[in-house]
């Protein structure tokens, strides 16, 4: 690519007053004049924040990227975008995913960048940045922050999925509050994001299987020196990508999305994968539907033995060969010729990888579990679909009929779940309404509702649970999520009453409310929305424009992209 065709030269290559202004104010940072003379400008989009602990090491990571950019003859410029910390943000980080994507999109387009490095880590920071960047479609590469080292507590490995086990143990009196406090520091003992195959790790695998990162990016632990190496190599590579004009749309093809779905099934990835991949596809203009997830992942067994579907953690996954080894194991199921940011095909990225530990990464012939990672359910209770993860569910509940115990919202759930008079037993089906995109708003991760104390005390560890919300990628259980249409939009979920029979049949992919159609119609005619409505600001905009879960819960006006052109020029 010649100097003239660099996008950044429309700023830094100008003469006269405009060029003076563009360069002079940059020079206050001590940048020599030669940097502005035709070098590819690489934006490093940083979600560093001390309020996003999973991404708190990103300043260091950005320095490694810069070294690579400079070595390859580029000019790196780091910039912040809204950071979404899963643990601290209220009411839920998901409410702000679309806002962060808008920040990313507009920050990239408005500034003199030729290529972009996205620094992503905690759950929502990956999809929001990829969505925003996809709507601009410059050459873009993702560097993930990497998982934490595996937690160690009382001589055993622990990770985020143990939060639910510990919480239930405290509630049932098997663990003291003091022991719980000790476990906090034992779980999060290094920089990085959650250590199981939760949403953050799923997102890191998603970008690698889509071809948006260099091979091995998904699993290198944050604390491993090789994390800095891949950051530096990515910095080098993005400069070459600018010269090759290798844009996101060249990588994000339908085949790339299909590979990501196949890989997600094999790793037992988070249910959040569905909602984020749909949103990314919507931005880049690749047709993708909820039904594709079930159809494409059918017959793909679980070959990664990672929590919450299995036993190990991301650190083990990396030492066992990481995602390239898993993809080599999946070879016969994958598309092979997809172009990736490495400039090579996806097959080239994984074909020399080897599996070093078959207890962590298995083979297609001898998988850990036959069930695929995700199924899509249909029925009168979820006309536009619902998702569940059989690999993290109880096999005996995959075909089940039980009476509904209904909670109108999350506050109702918290106030009554441990009420000793609640008529709940091992066959009950817990139903939680108004935790969808519009109803909460923001679709929080509350779908894996805690079980009632009295059932825990009786040794019962799972129930069928249904909601229009989401579940943490580290959660587990027979949990049906993303029911669409949601209760707040008048879906049948809103009409379920205590004692109604509900039938789940995962093999038949069905979820039915066993109430006569006439009765459902009668209830619908009397139904009135009861969710809170924001009176101003971003949350009002969100409630007015967010799409349903089966469409990716993006804003309706954000689908597609506007490219990298700046339409007006005030100078
Ligand atoms: Fe950030 Fe789990 S809280 S990845």
pLDDT for the residue numbered 416: 97
Task: Find the 52 Cα to ligand 1 centroid distance in Å.
Answer: 8
**pLDDT at res. 571:** 66
Residue-by-residue DSSP string for 86-115: TTT-SS-GGGGHHHHHHHHHHHHHHS--SE
In 74-150, at which residue ranges do the beta strands (DSSP E only) sit?
75-80, 115-120, 140-144
In the chain, domain spans = 375-526
194 pocket-lining for ligand 1 (C-beta < 6 Å): yes
DSSP 193: B
473 Cα nearest atom in ligand 1: 2
CA dist., res. 338 & res. 208, Å (int) = 12
d(C-alpha 239, C-alpha 343), whole Å:
12
> Counting atoms of ligand 1 from 1, which one is nearest the CA of 85?
1
**Ligand 1 center–CA 87 separation, angstroms:** 7
Q: How buried is 337 (Cβ within 10 angstroms: 0-12 exposed, 13-18 middle, 19+ buried)? A: exposed
pLDDT on residue 570:
73
- The pLDDT, as a whole number, for residue 31 is 97
Out of 2.60.120.1030, 1.10.357.10, 3.50.30.80, 3.30.70.2740, which CATH number does the structure's domain 375-526 have? 3.50.30.80
Distance 486 CA to ligand 1 centre (A): 26
- Residue 532: CB atoms within 10 A of its CB come to 13
DSSP-derived secondary structure letter, 339: B
pLDDT per position in the chain (571 positions), as tens?
454 589 999 999 999 999 999 999 999 999 999 999 999 999 999 999 999 999 999 999 999 999 999 999 999 999 999 999 999 999 999 999 999 999 999 999 999 999 999 999 999 999 999 999 999 999 999 999 999 999 999 999 998 888 888 988 888 889 999 999 999 999 999 999 999 999 999 999 999 999 999 999 999 999 999 999 999 999 999 999 999 999 999 999 999 999 999 999 999 999 999 999 999 999 999 999 999 999 999 899 999 999 988 899 999 999 999 999 999 999 999 999 999 999 999 999 999 999 999 999 999 999 998 866 689 999 999 999 999 988 889 999 999 999 999 999 999 999 999 999 999 999 999 999 999 999 999 999 999 999 999 999 899 999 999 999 999 877 789 999 999 999 999 999 999 999 999 999 999 999 999 999 999 999 999 999 989 899 999 999 999 999 999 999 999 999 999 999 998 887 6
Tell me the C-alpha distance between 436 and 434, whole Å: 6
User: Phi and psi of 457, rounded to 5°?
Assistant: -65, -30
Pick from 122, 149, 203 the residue to mutate for probing ligand 1's pocket: most ligand atoms within 8 Å of its CB: 122
Q: Nearest C-alpha to atom 3 of ligand 1 is from which residue?
A: 86
Residue 198 CB less than 6 A away from ligand 1: yes
Establish whether residue 123 lines the binding site of ligand 1, counting it when its CB lies within 6 angstroms of any ligand atom. yes
DSSP letters, 460-515, are ----EEEESSB--TT--SSEEB--SS-GGGT-GGGG--TT-EEEEETTTTEEEE-S
Is any atom of ligand 1 closer than 6 Å to the C-beta of 54? yes
| Mutation probe of ligand 1 site: the residue of 49, 50, 52, 54 with most atoms within 8 A of C-beta | 54
Residue 474 CA: which ligand 1 atom is closest?
A: 2
Two structure tokens written together for 421: 């008079």
Q: Is the shortest distance between the CB of 218 and ligand 1 below 6 Å?
A: no
Per the DSSP assignment, residues forming a β-bridge with 43 are: 77, 116
Residue of 56, 84, 86, 191 to mutate, ligand 1, most atoms within 8 A of C-beta: 86
Give 166 Cα–ligand 1 centroid separation in angstroms.
17
**The dihedral formed by the CA atoms of 532, 533, 536 and 540, expressed in degrees to the nearest 10:** 110
C-beta of 200 in contact with ligand 1 (< 6 A): yes
Listed residue (124, 140, 142, 255) closest to 199, CA to CA: 124
Nearest by Cα to 82 from 42, 40, 51:
51
Residue 199 CA: nearest ligand 1 atom is: 4
The pLDDT of residue 4: 52
| Residue 309: per-residue pLDDT | 85
Q: What is the DSSP letter of 25?
A: H
Closest CA to 76 of 15, 141, 136, 131: 141
Q: Of 259, 269, 284, whose CA–CA distance to 201 is shortest?
A: 269
Which residue has the CA at smallest separation from atom 1 of ligand 1?
Answer: 122
Closest-lying ligand 1 atom to the alpha carbon of residue 121? 4
DSSP-derived secondary structure letter, 351: T
């Amino acid at each position: 690519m010649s100097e003239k065709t660099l996008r950044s030269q429309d700023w830094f290559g100008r003469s006269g007053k405009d060029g003076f202004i563009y360069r002079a104010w940059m020079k206050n940072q001590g940048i020599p004049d030669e940097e502005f003379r035709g070098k590819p400008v690489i934006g490093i989009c940083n979600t560093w924040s001390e309020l996003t602990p999973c991404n708190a090491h990103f300043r260091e990571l950005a320095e490694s990227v810069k070294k690579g950019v400079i070595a390859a003859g580029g000019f790196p410029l780091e910039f912040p975008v809204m950071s979404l910390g899963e643990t601290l943000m209220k009411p839920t980080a998901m409410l702000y995913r679309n806002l962060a994507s808008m920040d990313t999109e507009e920050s990239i387009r408005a500034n003199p960048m030729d290529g972009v490095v996205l620094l992503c880590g905690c759950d929502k920071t990956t999809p929001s940045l990829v969505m925003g960047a996809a709507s601009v479609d410059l050459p873009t590469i993702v560097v993930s922050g990497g998982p934490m080292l595996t937690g160690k507590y009382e001589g055993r490995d622990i990770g985020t999925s143990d939060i639910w086990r510990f919480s239930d143990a405290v509630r049932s009196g098997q663990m003291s509050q003091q022991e719980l406090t000790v476990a906090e520091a034992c779980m999060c003992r290094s920089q990085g994001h959650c250590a199981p195959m939760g949403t953050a790790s799923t997102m890191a695998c998603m970008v690698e299987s889509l071809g948006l990162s260099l091979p091995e990016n998904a699993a290198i632990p944050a604390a491993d020196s090789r994390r800095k190496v891949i950051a530096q190599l990515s910095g080098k590579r993005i400069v070459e990508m600018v010269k090759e004009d290798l844009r996101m749309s060249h990588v994000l093809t339908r085949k790339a999305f299909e590979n990501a779905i196949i890989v997600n099934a094999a790793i037992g990835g988070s249910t959040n994968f569905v909602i984020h991949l749909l949103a990314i596809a919507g931005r880049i203009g690749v047709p993708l539907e909820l039904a594709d997830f079930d159809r494409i992942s059918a017959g793909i067994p679980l070959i990664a033995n990672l929590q919450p579907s299995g036993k190990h953690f991301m650190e083990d996954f990396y030492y066992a060969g990481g995602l390239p080894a898993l993809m080599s194991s999946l070879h016969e199921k994958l598309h092979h010729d997809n172009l990736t940011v490495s400039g090579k095909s996806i097959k080239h990225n994984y074909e020399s990888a080897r599996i070093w530990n078959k207890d962590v990464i298995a083979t297609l012939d001898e998988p850990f579990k036959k069930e695929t990672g995700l199924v899509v359910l249909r029925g009168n209770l979820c006309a536009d679909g619902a998702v569940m993860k059989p690999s993290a569910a109880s096999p005996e509940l995959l075909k089940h009929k039980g009476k509904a115990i209904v909670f109108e919202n999350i506050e109702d759930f918290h106030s009554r779940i441990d009420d000793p008079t609640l008529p709940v037993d091992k066959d009950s089906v817990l139903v939680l309404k108004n935790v969808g995109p519009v109803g909460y708003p923001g679709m929080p991760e509350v779908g894996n509702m805690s079980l009632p104390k009295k059932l825990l005390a009786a040794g019962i560890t799972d129930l069928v649970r249904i909601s229009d919300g989401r579940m943490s990628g580290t959660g587990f259980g027979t949990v049906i999520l993303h029911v669409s249409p949601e209760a707040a939009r008048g879906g049948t979920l809103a009409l379920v009453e205590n004692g109604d029979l509900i039938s789940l049949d995962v093999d038949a992919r069905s979820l039915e409310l066993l109430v006569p159609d006439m009765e459902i119609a009668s209830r619908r005619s009397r139904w009135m929305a009861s969710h809170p409505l924001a009176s101003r600001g971003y949350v009002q905009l969100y409630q007015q424009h967010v799409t349903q879960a089966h469409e990716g819960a993006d804003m309706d006006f954000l689908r597609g992209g506007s490219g990298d052109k700046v339409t007006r020029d005030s100078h």
